Amino acid sequence: MPGHILPPLLIPLLKRLSDGRFHSGQDMARHFQVSRATIFNLLQAAEQHGVRLHAVRGRGYRLAEPLSWLDAAALQAMLAASARNFELKTVEAAHSTNTLLAQEALAGAPHRTVLYADYQHAGRGRRGREWQSPLGGGLAFSVLWRFERGMGELSGLSIAVGLALARALAAHCPLPIRLKWPNDVLAGYRKLAGILVEVQGELSGPSFAVIGIGLNEHLPARHRQEIDQAVIDLAEMGVRLSRAELLHAILAELADTMATFEQQGIGPILAEWPQWHAHEGRAVQLRTPDGHRHAGTASGLDEAGNLMLTLASGELRKFSAGEVSLRPATAK
């Protein structure tokens, strides 16, 4: 049931089971002040969402493998120690952290608000695609960034965010980290993370961006089968950072990269970006929504973040992220 709304008590129940000890149905029913039948139904729901449980008669239940949860206090302490100022808000579950944070932005949420969800059941990717985020399988969070400038001056923002995320992950991952234009982060040429940047505001300012990030931490095997591309997660690479450490690394790098973007523009970011691009200088295919394919060599980005493609004729054409998908030339 990935993608399905969780019963209200499921996450508190799983957090209680995360101490590694056995808990009887009776004890859990007493703790949460519900019936044992309700506890049984919650445990069934957990298994339907891919959580593996270990049950022993007479002892109770525990998690067969640990689930990761965010220690918000630890993250706040890390951010304070590194002089990064973010407003952290956590929720147990959200349909989409981007959608929820955009609503809060319109209601006056402060600059650099971070909205983190233990579980996201209707996450969105680029071009309306669903972002798969199984329970306990990955990080899902969004960051609000406010600008005095207008929307028209934010071209290339998603490129800056991608670079920040790649830098943060490269410091902790054993496999080479690469960017796939426009919004994917790859490890060993398999998808590790994705970005969705959505901008609202006035053409002349002010404006704001909601920066959504999804990161694969520990994907269940059956969940991988539902994804239509090669994926990888942090657990597979042996990365054992806590969620607080991961979020701190990403937010710290995001703060530094956004400072460059705001003070110096997109220029320094575009200069560095090609060395991270998985397909830079390689033969690729661009597929447009109408089914047309354009073959050529990936040749960097322009100042708006459009991909430059050198055709066989030598012509240099540009394509925007909203209209195409990128594949290696060998892809069918």
pLDDT confidence of residue 83? 79
Q: Which domains are delineated in the chain?
A: 10-63 (1.10.10.10), 72-275 (3.30.930.10), 283-328 (2.30.30.100)
pLDDT confidence of residue 88? 96
Please compute the mean of the pLDDT values over residues 85-106 and round it to a whole number: 95
Model confidence at 132, pLDDT cuts 50, 70, 90, reads low
How far CA 77 is from CA of 82, 92, 246, in Å, comes to: 9, 21, 14
Please compute the mean of the pLDDT values over residues 217-225 and round it to a whole number: 76
Q: Under a CB-based contact definition with an 8 Å cutoff, are residues 116 and 123 in contact? A: no
Residues in the chain: 332
Question: How far is Cα 323 from Cα 114, in angstroms, rounded to an integer?
Answer: 29
pLDDT confidence of residue 182? 86
Please compute the mean of the pLDDT values over residues 135-162 and round it to a whole number: 92
**Which residues is 197 bridged to in the sheet?**
211
pLDDT confidence of residue 284? 92
Question: How far is Cα 79 from Cα 231, in angstroms, rounded to an integer?
Answer: 30
Amino acid occupying residue 304: A
Sign of the dihedral through C-alpha 49, 51, 56, 62: negative
Which stretch of DSSP H or E encloses residue 81?
A: helix 72-81
Name every residue whose Cβ is closer than 8 Å to that of residue 276 and which is 6 or more positions away in sequence: 162, 163, 166, 177, 178, 179
Tens digit of pLDDT for each residue in 241-275? 999 999 999 999 999 999 999 999 999 999 999 99
Amino acid occupying residue 119: Y
Question: How far is Cα 110 from Cα 143, in angstroms, rounded to an integer?
Answer: 10
12 three-state secondary structure: helix
Read off the tokens for 230.
């090669």
Q: Which of 47, 48, 77 is nearest to 63 (CA)?
A: 47
Question: How far is Cα 246 from Cα 186, in angstroms, rounded to an integer?
Answer: 16
Model confidence at 144, pLDDT cuts 50, 70, 90, reads very high
Phi and psi at 46, nearest 5°, equal: -60, -45
Question: How far is Cα 187 from Cα 278, in angstroms, rounded to an integer?
Answer: 10
pLDDT confidence of residue 2? 44
17-27 burial: b if 16+ Cβ within 10 Å, else e: beeeeebebee
How far CA 37 is from CA of 25, 30, 41, 172, in Å, comes to: 9, 12, 6, 43
Mean pLDDT of the chain: 90
**135 vs 311, which has greater pLDDT?**
311
Amino acid occupying residue 94: A
pLDDT confidence of residue 1? 44
Sign of the dihedral through C-alpha 103, 106, 108, 114: positive
Asked if residue 328 has a cis previous peptide bond (ω within 30° of 0), the answer is no
Strands 113-120 and 87-94: parallel
Question: How far is Cα 25 from Cα 29, in angstroms, rounded to an integer?
Answer: 6
Tens digit of pLDDT for each residue in 32-76? 999 999 999 999 999 988 888 999 999 999 999 888 899 999 999
- DSSP letters along 110-150, please? PTTEEEEEEEESS-B-GGGPBPP--TTTEEEEEEEEEESS-
Token pair 């394919």 in the structure block, residue: 293
DSSP state for residue 83 in the 8-state scheme: T
